[in-house]
Amino acid sequence: MAATRAVSIASSTSTCLLTKKPLLLKQKPYGYSLCLQNLKVAHSSSKRSYTCRAIYNPQVQIKEEGQPETLDYRVFFVEKSGKKVSPWHDVPLLLGDNVFNFIVEIPKESSAKMEVATDEPHTPIKQDTKKGKLRYYPYNIHWNYGLLPQTWEDPSFANSEVEGAFGDNDPVDVVEIGERRGKIGEILRIKPLGALAMIDEGELDWKIVAISLDDPKASLVNDVDDVEKHFPGTLTAIRDWFRDYKIPDGKPANKFGLDNKAANKDYALKVITETNESWNKLVKRSIPAGELSLL
């Protein structure tokens, strides 16, 4: 049994406001290059700003196959023609002015551990498993949780700023703190506010703290200090949640680098830039993909 619903997704073309030339943003396995210049100047001292804006295309739909909370359940992204596309590789990352696409994997106040299947063709969203059984968090997650498309935490790269930890071989995670509960597969426009450097069993697993542009408080929060002012206690709650969620299963608490604190917006943008560059190398096959799907 399959069900479909429409979502908004950035289109395959955009216009660079600096050059007035079209940019090809649709990922083909060997040919994509993001307008990285915009990201790089965004967190530097340079006064220049190269802004590239993607155009929304409402023709992409979510197609659910199988029943929720079963081993066969998959959430695919499909074009109007019925062609499947990858939420990881084919959804553009950057929308301009430090606004990014964010894909909801786990809606707030739910516990099923949903994730993009990075080793399956078209990388659909599925429920994670362990020893053949569906995985659940021991308690609900209180924020919309998901990924930044076209990012990748390189497991061969040791981050000297975070205890030399290697990347976790996944897209970058986002914790979206807005009030509305998202849907699995929904694409939200978000702006980063900060970053937590979680270390999970020795692997670096970034958590970008962000807010949907559609949230009523979006205009009030533009950096990590604003989060504490307008969402008091949220940063501590996020850190503690991700630190402790494995303890009920008998595993040790996760650790955090960067002095156990959330880094600011500029640092979050730096993380996004670096992990997008890593993804770009991955899809160009400059780095071995291993079992990861590039379709």
Note the pLDDT tens digit of each residue in 118-160.
999 999 999 999 999 999 999 999 999 999 999 999 999 999 9
In this prediction the pTM is 0.85
User: Which residues form the catalytic set?
Assistant: 137
pLDDT for position 210: 98
DSSP state of 218: G
pLDDT for position 52: 36
Note the pLDDT tens digit of each residue in 172-214.
999 999 999 999 999 999 999 999 999 999 999 999 999 999 9
Answer whether residue 168 shows pLDDT above 50.
yes
pLDDT for position 278: 98
Q: Which positions ≥6 away from 246 have C-beta within 8 Å?
A: 252, 253, 254
* pLDDT: which is higher, 31 or 271: 271
pLDDT for position 40: 42
Q: Which positions ≥6 away from 30 have C-beta within 8 Å?
A: 283, 284, 285
Structure confidence at residue 49 as a pLDDT band (50, 70, 90): very low
Answer whether residue 44 shows pLDDT above 70.
no
Domains in the chain, ordered, with CATH? Answer: 2-283 (3.90.80.10)
With b for 16 or more beta-carbon neighbours within 10 A and e for fewer, the 5-33 pattern comes to: eebebbebebebeeeeeebebebeeeebe
* pLDDT: which is higher, 67 or 37: 67
Answer whether residue 11 shows pLDDT above 90.
no
Note the pLDDT tens digit of each residue in 245-276.
999 999 999 999 999 999 999 999 999 999 99
pLDDT for position 251: 94
Token pair belonging to 204: 């670096």
Please state, for a pLDDT cut of 90, what percent of the chain lies above it.
Answer: 78
Note the pLDDT tens digit of each residue in 231-247.
999 999 999 999 999 99
Answer whether residue 45 shows pLDDT above 50.
no
In one letter, which amino acid is 133? Answer: K
Which conformational region is residue 98 in: left (phi greater than 0), alpha (psi within -120 to 50 degrees), or beta? left
Structure confidence at residue 8 as a pLDDT band (50, 70, 90): low
Averaged pLDDT of the chain = 86
Structure confidence at residue 59 as a pLDDT band (50, 70, 90): low
pLDDT for position 23: 35
pLDDT for position 225: 97
256 φ, ψ to 5°?
Answer: -135, 140
pLDDT for position 113: 98
Range in 21-35, 91-105, 213-227 the model is least confident about: 21-35
Mean pLDDT of 5-9: 58
Mean pLDDT of 270-284: 98
pLDDT for position 60: 78
